[in-house]
Amino acid sequence: MTVRPLLFAANWKMHIDPSEAEAFASTFLRSTTAAPGREIWFFPPAVSLLATASAFAGRPDVRVGAQDIHWEPKGAFTGATSVPLAKASGAEAALVGHSERRHVFGETDTDTGRKVAALLEHGLIPVLCVGERLEERDAGGTDRVVQRQLNAGLTAVDPESLSRLVIAYEPVWAIGTGKTATPEDAAAVHRVIRDDLERRGAEPAAIPILYGGSVKVANVRVLLEQPELDGVLVGGASLDPAGWAELVKRGSEGEGGQRTVR
Q: Which residues are catalytic?
A: 98, 170
- Report the relative pairing of strands 259-261 and 2-4 from DSSP bridges: antiparallel
Pairing between β-strand 125-130 and β-strand 166-169 as defined by DSSP bridges: parallel
Chain mean position to CA 127:
5
Do the beta carbons of residue 109 and residue 156 sit within 8 Å? no
Query: Which of 10, 17, 7 has the alpha carbon at shortest distance from 46?
Result: 17
Closest CA to 245 of 254, 259, 255, 234: 234
Angle between helices 183-199 and 142-153 (to 10 degrees): 40
Q: Is 259 helix (H, G, I), strand (E, B) or coil?
A: strand
d(CA 198, CA 194): 6
Question: Which residue pairs from 82-89 have beta carbons closer than 8 angstroms and sit at least 24 positions apart in sequence?
Answer: 83/118, 83/119, 83/121, 83/122, 83/124, 84/122, 86/46, 86/49, 86/124, 87/122, 87/123, 87/124, 89/46, 89/49, 89/50, 89/53
